[in-house]
Chain A
């Protein structure tokens, strides 16, 4: 049986890893800090995948970001997806060459669908993760691109179908309202949206503890849960959470 996945998302900006809350970034530490507090070589056995996102609101340096990705992937034998600011085939190629197994696209889905198409031709659908950020306003789920700055005029459900029609590999659905709050996933919207699409869905935004991850994993049709909460899962937080999840009988891989 196909297992569900637990993913950690690292938010990166201009040389530092960040804690994001409602897309406002707070600097936490650099690579040395991360290695001291999150030994990925050690805790990788608690994770199915790692996602690294460049959320810098300045001009994004693809090379600097790619070099950070390449530092992260050494001796970590799990899939790494990287993205943030990919606007050309060269950007994508640079990330793949620096150790990314998949790339994450967001604004390009809306602004450059022809780029998405050509990347799929080269790297295959399964290498493309489509990231979608949304926020609720007066009962409508509105979609944002450009790191949560630009609102687009297509409601979430319609946008999900549009993104699915681009033939990407997976969808990473992130609630801006829940982002970094630690209050739990946006279960209501997720439970509704998961029924509208057929491709694998990764949910993000709000998970602050093991119980939240479990709640997300239990939703029928959700393929993976992601957390970017550097504070709540520090040290052995992730190994502990995974163990509890496995012990509770949820269908995630157990390698030990």
Chain B
């Protein structure tokens, strides 16, 4: 199996790569070449950085068109992680209003509860009320590692699982071949490895 980590040139993707290698994926390619993405069996859209800069780099490289082609018109499995998940949404108000990739009906906004410490950092519980492919073999809740100042919410049914920090927000969503997680599975110990394994095996 070949997994392509979509590279838009920001942040640490090494830990995702080493996690996939640890799980036995031999071919992990880091690339922003549409041809390479097309030939991969599965895609990961990683997530470190700020929304505005990331979406600009994605557009510069023509990856928005490419991803739409592969995962919406096609059925290539994709997992967005943290900012990668947010980039899949409709829009974000980080660095002004920026449109996202529109792969999921979610809006990204800053945590606005004044009583909370921002960013939301550390392990927090995800309520697994939607036991889809990602959570195959999980109990009703599990701890995952989060680090983010912006959150996705949605009033649509996007098969979301919630996490609570002040208010509920989207910890993950899943729609056939398209999934996203706000937490970092590559930094979430066994629970994270389990989610990756499900993405590799069930998608």
Residues of B within 8 A of A198 (CB): 117-118
Q: Which of A75, A127, A221 has the most CB of B within 10 A?
A: A127
Q: Are B118 and A199 in contact (CB under 8 A)?
A: yes
A170 CB to nearest B CB, Å: 6
Tally chain B residues at the interface, Cβ within 8 Å. 39
Given contacts A96-B12, A121-B53, contact A170 B119 (CB under 8 A): yes
Contacts between the two chains (Cβ within 8 Å), count: 121
Cβ-closest chain B residue relative to A253: B123
Once the chains bind, are A126 and B147 in contact (CB under 8 Å)?
yes
Q: Is the CB of A200 within 8 A of B125?
A: no
Instruction: State which residues 129-154 of B face A: CB under 8 Å.
Output: 143, 145, 147-149
Query: Which A residue sits closest to B143, measured CB to CB?
Result: A253
> Which of A74, A75, A169 contacts B147 (CB under 8 A)?
A169
B49 contacts the other chain (CB 8 A): yes
Query: Across the interface, do B121 and A169 meet the contact criterion of CB distance under 8 Å?
Result: yes
**Shortest Cβ distance from residue A111 to the other chain B in the assembled complex, whole angstroms:** 23
Partner of A73, one of B10, B14, B124, B149: B14
The minimal Cβ–Cβ distance linking A147 to chain B, given in whole angstroms, is: 25
B18/A73 in contact, CB under 8 A: yes
Does A99 reach chain B (CB closer than 8 Å)? yes
Residue in contact with A255 in the complex, picked from B12, B148, B186, B189, CB distance below 8 Å = B189
Whether the Cβ atoms of A77 and B19 lie closer than 8 Å is yes
A90 to chain B, nearest CB (A): 14
Nearest Cβ distance between residue A121 and chain B, in whole angstroms? 6
- Whether the Cβ atoms of B121 and A124 lie closer than 8 Å is no
Q: Which residues of A contact B22 (CB under 8 A)?
A: 75, 77
Known: A96-B12, A254-B143. 14 other contacts (CB 8 A): A3-B122, A73-B14, A73-B18, A75-B22, A77-B193, A78-B187, A96-B11, A98-B14, A101-B187, A120-B50, A123-B11, A126-B149, A199-B117, A252-B123
A selection of 5 A-B contacts at a CB cut-off of 8 Å is A2-B120, A96-B12, A126-B147, A200-B117, A255-B190
